[in-house]
Structure 1
Amino acid sequence: MTKELRRLSIIVLFMFLSLFVATSWIQVVNAPTLNEDVNNRRTLYDSYEVQRGSIIAGGEEIVTSIASDDLYAWQRQYANADVWSTVTGWINPVLQSTEGLERAMNQELSGQASSAFFSRIDQILSGQDPRGSSIELSLEPAAQQAAYDALVNRGYTGAVVAVEPSTGRILAMVSTPGYDTNQLALHDGDAVNANYTALEADALEPLQNRAIAGDLYPPGSTFKLVTATAAIASGDYTMDSTFPNVAAYTLPSSSAVVSNADGGTCGSGDTVTLRDAIRLSCNVPMAELAVELGEDAIREAAESYGFNRSFETPLPSTASSYPSLAGDDAQTGLTGFGQGQVTATPLQMAMVAAGIANDGVVMNPWMVDDVIGPDLSVQETYDPTAFGEALDADLADALTEAMTASVQDGAATNARIDGVDVAGKTGTAENADDDPYTLWFTGFAPADDPQVAVAVVVEDGGGQGQSGSGNTIAAPIAKEVMEAVLAR
């Protein structure tokens, strides 16, 4: 072989090896990243050519694929669609659009995830038609139905999130009004566009997932749990610490006056304990406490529960916010009882209650337990992970005691369950001017062995303007959801 030919052979061999390494790198190493890229339309197209996996909750298939007689081969079907729309979303091949779990878990449902690699190989070798993997949710149908019914049957617009405190598994996630996802999965583009336009135009905004996103709410008095956490975690306060028991408090460097809900003092006596301020849900002592603590301490406590960050459940949540207040003591005082610039999702307030229930340890929330292959093998399992510690176990117990007293004979009595000790906190959040209140409840049960933590939010004062309260409107909903979980 001549010298020139040998050199040319080496160059060709080098080019071949480079091409082999590059293509292998793209197909093996970079494949998951490329598949998950929202700009990769090929992945979306590929997902229409396979029978997508089912979405399963409590052993029931709530989303399935059936054969269609059109270009797209498979039609998605949603059972009890309005109840599950918050979670499942939809997929539409005509408009190339996805939402909810159909989007977040598209790789798994279409069989393109790395966990389905051997399943794809088996399908190719055996000549089977390609099929996607199914996903099994942590959500419980009874709890989901109870949450939906509790809101819809009363005509409320709002949301419910229920969480298992020890694991972070989401047991229910509902936003009302819901919508029929089947009408957005049709293979008739004109019909789907018309349906989507009608939903967008609806003043009640059914497409908005109020449980984890959308326009966030002031958390009202449910945030007092965070303020109390900041206080007792500092070591400078206990649940027996006292504050002047006055009917009104003028915020520092401001003419704004804070009053308790009934306009009077927080119970009798010249002083009030932090325990009773939580039990009776009094604003004045919590505003005073917030000013004493300062915004940095409260923000640190809020962030220990998950404020100021988003969570992938795998549905992405909007971050609840405790913003920088630039040393404004008046604004800090307002946040002490969940007003001012602090905002939250129901998911976040469920995490607060769940963290207290779990001896102060906050778990990362999630709603997918397993990914199951077409051959029923478990391809992937999601295990509980801790987000962090909000407070020590003994301090969490002290806060639980005050929350339990609130349900027994305080401001949250409508969350009582016969034979079960419930720990809870209500919230009645003011909005601008004469706008209706936003009504809240968050809590857990049983108080001594927590199985479920719940957060409820109801918009527009539950139809009662500024007359309703978290105890009269939100607490009974939480009770029904907790009962559904405890009855399992």
Structure 2
Amino acid sequence: MNKPIRNLAVAALVLFAALLVNINIVQFVQAESLNDRNGNQRVINEEFSRDRGAILVAGEPVAESVPTDGQFRFQREYPAAELYAPVTGYFSYIYGRGALENSQNRVLAGTDNRLFVNRVVDLLGNKQPQGGSVELTIDPLAQRTAASGLAALGENTKGAVVALDPQTGAVLAMVTQPSYDPNRLASHDFGSVNDAWQELTNDDDQPMLNRGTQQTLPPGSVFKLVTAAAAMEELDLDPDSDVQGGTTLSFPGIDYELPNQGGGNCGGNEISLRQALEVSCNVSFGDLAGEVGQEALAEQAERFGFGQDALSGLATSESRFTAEGTDLEAPQLAQSGIGQFEVAATPLQMAMVAAGIANEGEVMRPYIVDTVRSPNLRVLEETSPESLSGAMTEGNARQLASMMVSTVDSGTGTPAQIPGVDVGGKTGTAQSTPDRPPYAWFVAFAPQDDPQIAIAVVVESSDTARSDIAGGRLAGPIARDVMQAVLER
């Protein structure tokens, strides 16, 4: 064989080998990811003709497939559409899947490897494969109560509520307003689906945004809980320790003063840490932030979950103490200590802060999927509570929790009082830009001796007059009602 023919033969063998390698990569290595990819039309055609599994809350479907006589054999339906849309997401022929419909797709579609035996049985019985079900941790009464609380503030309200079980991390409620109707995207009338998608995605109010996990906002004074925790951990302070009070906090050599909300003096030039939290004293916590220092305060925030993607199954945005690489000057650090400047947090994150304090300093990893089952109800997976981090020592957490109870008993958090229950809470009114109203925050837990719920409520905007916007006034009653719903179940 002459040299040119030999080289051509070698090249052909190399190309053939490369083709075999590529086929194996596509069919075995990449097969699962290709099948899971949104927009894979062949897979979508199969899924739309299949009995997709249900997403359940307290045993009742919040997403299910029902038989239809149309082009496809089943129609996806959402019985309590807007109430659970941020959690369930959507299942659309044109636009794919969102939220849990996407992250739990393999189980719901029946293609999960753990359902292999079920698929074989269906094949032998000449039946279409059937999907498994996903049971959520959501408390339906808490969910409805949270939605009603936001709705009561008016149709122009934007906000979110996230509630957790402090001892396990289970999500008890996750509500955003405005929300959307995923039935419009699941329709088999594709023209209507396209119109709905364009309307929803072009809406300035972003109804498809899960404000509980995806939107970060300045937390304002609810972040003072993180600053208080850092002061107790780093400076060995306790509730009776003296801290700086007064009307303003000044910075040597810098022409800037940090004032208190409303211009008060917090009760004196020297007050206790407990009183500082009760009256939400900017001067106290701005000064403490400087004493603790940027590095230690950032580390304290991280121990509560800042900078981490802690919740699986739903799209989340990481909360931040400050932008990476920023070296804060004294006034900026003071502003950060009261939850302003570059501090930004999701409601989920601030619920984790309250939960960690309530749970004696241990922050549990939040989760929303409780149990995954096969079509014959065999348990495939059950979530076990998992610790995310130790944010505080047990003793300091108990003392900070008692300070939060004092804040609800006789401080700025009185709107969250529940008769006969020791409720711990903290208000926050975060400034934004001059041309928009402040953000109203409230975080809380109850009861003190055996915490069953920790909650964060944020009202981003509403029809409330700017002068009447305050965390306790707007968000506090919502937190109270949701906590009551859980405690009385």
TM-score by length of 2: 0.91
C-alpha separation in 1, matches of 2:41 and 2:203: 30
Whether the 8 Å contact between 1:163 and 1:351 is mirrored in structure 2 is: yes
Whether the 8 Å contact between 2:39 and 2:95 is mirrored in structure 1 is: no
Which piece of structure 1 moves more, 107-116 or 144-153? 107-116
Whether the 8 Å contact between 1:415 and 1:479 is mirrored in structure 2 is: yes
C-alpha separation in 1, matches of 2:166 and 2:454: 6
Secondary structure of the 1:135 match is: strand
Question: Cα distance, 1:378 vs. partner?
Answer: 1.1
Which ranges in structure 1 are unaligned for 5 or more consecutive residues? 1-14
Q: Which residue of 1 aligns with 2:3?
A: none
Q: Which residue of 1 aligns with 2:113?
A: 114
Question: Cα distance, 1:245 vs. partner?
Answer: 2.0
Q: Residues 237 and 40 (structure 1 numbering): CA distance in 2 closer, same or farther, change over 3 Å?
A: farther
Whether the 8 Å contact between 1:186 and 1:192 is mirrored in structure 2 is: yes
Q: Which residue of 2 aligns with 1:59?
A: 59
Q: Which residue of 2 aligns with 1:277?
A: 276
Q: Which residue of 2 aligns with 1:453?
A: 454
C-alpha separation in 1, matches of 2:119 and 2:457: 42
Question: Cα distance, 1:236 vs. partner?
Answer: 3.6
Q: Which residue of 1 aligns with 2:11?
A: none
Secondary structure of the 1:306 match is: coil
Q: Which residue of 1 aligns with 2:475?
A: 474
Could you tell me which amino acid in structure 2 is paired with residue 407 of structure 1? V
Whether the 8 Å contact between 2:39 and 2:96 is mirrored in structure 1 is: no
Secondary structure of the 2:448 match is: coil
C-alpha separation in 1, matches of 2:311 and 2:278: 33
C-alpha separation in 1, matches of 2:359 and 2:488: 21
Q: Which residue of 1 aligns with 2:347?
A: 346
Secondary structure of the 1:332 match is: helix
Question: Cα distance, 1:29 vs. partner?
Answer: 7.4
Q: Which residue of 2 aligns with 1:171?
A: 172
Which ranges in structure 2 are unaligned for 5 or more consecutive residues? 1-15
Whether the 8 Å contact between 1:220 and 1:337 is mirrored in structure 2 is: yes
Q: Residues 413 and 462 (structure 1 numbering): CA distance in 2 closer, same or farther, change over 3 Å?
A: farther
Identity percentage over the alignment? 40
Question: Cα distance, 1:184 vs. partner?
Answer: 1.5
Whether the 8 Å contact between 1:165 and 1:450 is mirrored in structure 2 is: yes
Query: 1:227-264, CA deviations, whole angstroms, 9 ceiling, x for partnerless residues?
Result: 11111111443333222321011246543321112311
Q: Which residue of 2 aligns with 1:265?
A: 265
Whether the 8 Å contact between 1:435 and 1:466 is mirrored in structure 2 is: no
C-alpha RMSD of matched pairs (Å): 2.3
Secondary structure of the 1:65 match is: strand
Q: Residues 43 and 291 (structure 1 numbering): CA distance in 2 closer, same or farther, change over 3 Å?
A: farther
Question: Cα distance, 1:283 vs. partner?
Answer: 0.7
Question: Cα distance, 1:143 vs. partner?
Answer: 0.6
Query: 1:424-472, CA deviations, whole angstroms, 9 ceiling, x for partnerless residues?
Result: 0110001112420100000100111100000000012662224310010
- Please tell me whether residue 286 in structure 1 is matched to residue 307 in structure 2: no
Secondary structure of the 1:399 match is: helix
C-alpha separation in 2, matches of 1:485 and 1:198: 36
- Please tell me whether residue 219 in structure 1 is matched to residue 252 in structure 2: no
Q: Which residue of 2 aligns with 1:407?
A: 408
Question: Cα distance, 1:379 vs. partner?
Answer: 1.4
C-alpha separation in 1, matches of 2:96 and 2:253: 52
Question: Cα distance, 1:134 vs. partner?
Answer: 0.8
TM-score by length of 1: 0.91
C-alpha separation in 2, matches of 1:58 and 1:468: 35
Secondary structure of the 2:184 match is: helix
Could you tell me which amino acid in structure 1 is paired with residue 231 of structure 2? A
Q: Which residue of 2 aligns with 1:376?
A: 377
The within-5 A match list for 1:175-186 is 175-186=176-187
Secondary structure of the 2:468 match is: coil
Query: 1:152-208, CA deviations, whole angstroms, 9 ceiling, x for partnerless residues?
Result: 122132000000011110010000012211111111121112122222333322122
The within-5 A match list for 1:256-335 is 256-267=256-267, 269-323=268-322, 324=324, 325-335=326-336
Q: Residues 253 and 66 (structure 1 numbering): CA distance in 2 closer, same or farther, change over 3 Å?
A: farther
Whether the 8 Å contact between 2:53 and 2:64 is mirrored in structure 1 is: yes
Whether the 8 Å contact between 1:279 and 1:405 is mirrored in structure 2 is: yes
Secondary structure of the 2:255 match is: coil
C-alpha separation in 1, matches of 2:27 and 2:277: 57
